[in-house]
Amino acid sequence: MTYLNRSARHCADVRNVIPSARTVIVTATIYNTDRPYSTEITDPDRAHIARYAWGDDYHDVIGARMEQLLAWMKEQSPEPFDARACVDNGPVQERVYAQYAGIGWIGKNSCVINPQKGSWIFLAEIICSLDLECDRPALDQCGTCTLCIEACPTKAIVAAGVLDATRCISYLTIEQRKEIPAEFREAVGNHVYGCDICQEVCPWNATPPVSADPAWQPRAAWDGVSVGELAAQSDDDLQKAMEKSAMMRAEVAGLRRNLRAAGV
């Protein structure tokens, strides 16, 4: 993730993207479904895949929706304006803008938490030159709770809101390409793609809303499967199941490596 370092200065100000920028519109899209949390599953063989990756790739789905929203704004606006839509991959500190836009606060687990909807939300933005009225920033409501810090299996949350990304299972199983370091293997366990634990234990996600959007429903290949069942699938079948999903980031080779680390 050295790109984060290289682009930090550029990402600190959206006027580096659109020099005429006056407003950032932030959207939050619920992706939670009715399946149990990894922390609720007692079957020791069950494979754990982060829920944001169960369905279609959010970059494609939300990217297309943001372009539609932007097209609608351009139709409605009495004046022309400059704009760019971003989701995840754009040069934007998304959580910072989400907090300032009133979507939610950046929690101790470093995810944006909405007081009604929890944190199973994808963030996306439209940076534009329109001078729109702003919402109020969201207030931090983590209080004295430290459940996420305590529950993190790799102790990646080193202080409230501060993540040592190199310890996070999401980084270890998705972003980095080497074998999973031996010191983390036990803690990573059956987490074969990403991790949700610090959000699952969050009290703001105790009764979360569920999305009926077909885009986020779990694909059959990941729905309730064991690590053994996943490992038994051919590379071709895994490739087909991963097609147009966020799991393509790790590719079949990355998933296989994670399955090996899980002992299958």
Taking the complex as a whole, how short is the minimal distance between the CB of residue 245 and ligand SF4, in angstroms?
19
Task: Kindly tell me which of 29 and 109 has the beta carbon lying closer to ligand SF4.
Answer: 109
Look at the alpha carbons of 15, 18, 21, 26 in this order and tell me if their dihedral is positive or negative. negative
Task: Kindly tell me which of 56 and 94 has the beta carbon lying closer to ligand B12.
Answer: 94
Confirm or reject binding of residue 122 to ligand B12 (CB under 6 A): yes
Sites of contact with ligand SF4 (CB under 6 A): 109, 152, 154, 156-157, 163, 168-170, 195, 197-198
Q: Which of 60, 88, 140, 164 is catalytic?
A: 88
- Tokens 């600190």: give the residue: 12
Taking the complex as a whole, how short is the minimal distance between the CB of residue 147 and ligand SF4, in angstroms?
10
What does 154 bind: ligand B12, ligand SF4, none (CB cut-off 5 to 8 Å by kind)?
ligand SF4
Taking the complex as a whole, how short is the minimal distance between the CB of residue 120 and ligand B12, in angstroms?
7
State how far the Cα of 160 lies from the Cα of 110, in Å rounded to an integer.
8
DSSP per-residue letters across the chain:
-HHHHHHHHHHT-GGGT-TT--EEEEEEEE---SSPPGGG---TTB-EE-GGGSSS-HHHHHHHHHHHHHHHHHHH-SS---EEEESSSSSS-HHHHHHHTTS-EE-TTSSEEBTTTBT-EEEEEEEES--PPPPPPPPP--TT--HHHHH-TT--EEETTEE-GGG-HHIIIII--SPPPHHHHHHHTTEEE---HHHHT-GGGSS------GGGSPPTTTTT-BHHHHHHS-HHHHHHHHTTSGGGGTHHHHHHHHHHHTT-
Site string for ligand B12, 75-94 (x = CB under 6 A): ------------xx---xxx
- Of positions 25, 30, 180, 198, contacts ligand B12 by CB under 6 A: 198
* Active site annotation includes 237: no
Among positions 155-174, residues that touch ligand B12 (CB under 6 A) are 161, 163, 165, 168, 170-171
Q: If binding means CB under 6 A, how many residues of this protein chain bind ligand B12?
A: 32
Site string for ligand B12, 58-77 (x = CB under 6 A): --------------------
Residues making contact with ligand B12 (CB under 6 A): 1, 4, 12, 50, 52, 87-88, 92-96, 106, 109-112, 119, 121-123, 161, 163, 165, 168, 170-171, 175, 194-196, 198
Query: Catalytic site residues?
Result: 88
